[in-house]
Chain A
Amino acid sequence: MIKIEQFLQQVFNGITLGSIYALVALGYTMVYGIIKLINFAHGGIYMIGAYVGYFCMTFLKIGFFPSLLSAMTICTLLGVTIEKIAYKPLRNATRIAALITAIGVSLFIEYGTMFFVKADVRSYPALTGLLAQKFAVGGFNVSMLQVLILVITVALMFLLQITVKKTRIGKAMRAVSLDKDAAELMGINVNSTITFTFAIGSALAGAAGVLVGIYYTSINPLMGTMPGLKAFIAAVFGGIGLIPGAMIGGYFIGMVEVMVSGYGNSMYRDAVVFGILILVLIVKPAGLLGKNTREKV
């Protein structure tokens, strides 16, 4: 019989993992929404975020929150640079050209990082004090770490929503993602709006990298590949290009993964997630929140 405490424990673990996927999925979906590019380099940015956090905490010893902010800042710069160097020159090229470039950039980041930091797995510094606490609620354990991850994720999503819905640049982002020419006719600077989108998406991936580091406590240069793909699946599941879709998709995939590991066999975890991708593409390619429309030419 399934124990309710155990089940709740798994739900909470699923929410934690889902938070991380959701943060990464947001970057995928925003970039896709605005330039129709699946930015496969995104998992690499997430990995860089984890390493920046690691170096800040281990060597600079500046504490968790400053490290988180540093990782977000560096990832923002990295994302913007990648966009400028690799994608902008291909703005009018075919989508497949940009996609192949994205895969190239992804490999470049991963193996470039491996060159500098070696392929070794590194241990994330443990959090101390209040953040390291665990407490039992009812029959299940909640760690402050999980609470922290959830709170940070929700706060970042809230900020993102405010930015997209209420600010001038957010309105520009929505306009550009709907119709670039029309946006330009409104006087919107399309290029800087695209750059800004990369900046935000990369900052979120950087944050996710640090959070995953403190949660799983080990990082390596190829750590972004699998979560990158899964976050991409999360984005597709929710409806690629749709911000709420990425959030829902992230939590869904996180939950599925944890449940399959907890109650089934963790060997099948990845297979199930990729099975979901195939299922979504067959049944509802536009995703949970997407409208099934033919692509307009």
Chain B
Amino acid sequence: MLEIKDLYVHFGVINAIKGISLKVNDGNIVTLIGANGAGKTTTLRTASGLKKPASGQILLDDEDITHTSAQYRVQRGISHAPEGRRVFPTMTVLENLELGAFLRKDKQGIKADLKRVYELFPRLHERRRQSAGTLSGGEQQMLAIGRALMSRPRILFLDEPSMGLAPLLVQEIFRIIRDINSTGTTILLIEQNASMALQIADYAYVMETGSIVISGSGAELMQSEDIKKAYLGG
């Protein structure tokens, strides 16, 4: 279980996150939705160790990991497919995937996971020798997710995986997220596409300007009038 307690994050004088708390239970899909600039990305970056918080706690299975390195968090089972995909453009698809397994030593396990990623994303297999920068946006997103899976995470952070993708591809990505979750990987999902996210989420948090304003099960939030108005287009 991942738990964030009373977290504050600043960029200089800007308070991007103002005391949020949230929980991600094992095996769940939890989504964090909210408008642009609400602080969703910053929350994930802080949880994965890229950004230091001003105060508050991050707990992974009751272990306080607030002041640990990103490297340690990867070792402990956190993996993060960041906003904007951030694949290594001049490296091949295969090299990108191998980097996802950077901290692992179990050759057999890596091989098995590579096979699994190729099964999830056959396109990546076709293009494994191609450099990542030449892939389409959708393929890059698949690579970013596949790369994140290569560390065999217990909890996977996905930051707007559907951003900029054609509707059909968005469907496909959501199907795959469910698929990954069904094999036991916990998922913390950030989405602009609130209705899709709420449909697959066990639990959801809504952020506004650095705070969590509403939370509840995906089904509950989909019924909420406020949410409908603000995020689901009526």
Contacts and interface: CB of A to CB of B under 8 A. Distances in A.
Interface of A: 168, 171-172, 174-175, 178-179, 181-189
Chain A, interface SS category? helix
B39 interface: no
A186 B91 contact: no
Q: Among the interface residues B48, B69, B80, B99, which one has the most CB atoms of the partner chain A within 10 A? A: B99
A186 B100 contact: yes
Interface in B41-73: 48-50, 69-71
12 contacts: A171-B98, A174-B90, A178-B90, A179-B86, A181-B50, A183-B99, A184-B70, A185-B74, A185-B148, A187-B74, A188-B71, A188-B102
A174 B92 CA distance: 12
Given A184-B70, A185-B74, A188-B102, 19 more contacts: A168-B102, A171-B102, A174-B88, A174-B90, A178-B88, A178-B90, A178-B91, A179-B88, A181-B86, A184-B49, A185-B48, A185-B50, A185-B148, A186-B102, A186-B147, A186-B151, A187-B71, A188-B71, A189-B71
Contacts of A168: 102
Interface residues of B, number: 26
A175 B50 contact: no
B24 to A, nearest CB: 18
B3 interface: no
A168 B86 CA distance: 20
A175 B88 CA distance: 7
Given A187-B102, A189-B69, A174 B91 contact: yes
Contacts of A186: 74, 99-100, 102-103, 147, 151
Nearest to A182: B86
B86 A172 contact: no
Interface of B: 48-50, 69-71, 74-75, 79-80, 82, 86-91, 95, 98-100, 102-103, 147-148, 151
A295 to B, nearest CB: 14
A165 to B, nearest CB: 10
B86 A187 contact: no
Nearest to B90: A178
B82 A185 contact: yes
A174 B89 CA distance: 11
Contacts of B102: 168, 171-172, 186-188
A185 B80 contact: yes
B151 A178 contact: no
Given A171-B98, A181-B82, A187 B103 contact: yes
Contacts of A189: 69, 71
Given A174-B88, A178-B90, A184 B50 contact: yes
B75 A187 contact: yes
A188 B70 CA distance: 8
Nearest to B69: A189
List the 7 closest A-B pairs by CB distance, nearest first.
Answer: A187-B74, A187-B103, A182-B86, A184-B70, A186-B102, A178-B88, A187-B71
B117 to A, nearest CB: 15
A175 B89 CA distance: 10
Contacts of A172: 102
A174 B91 CA distance: 9
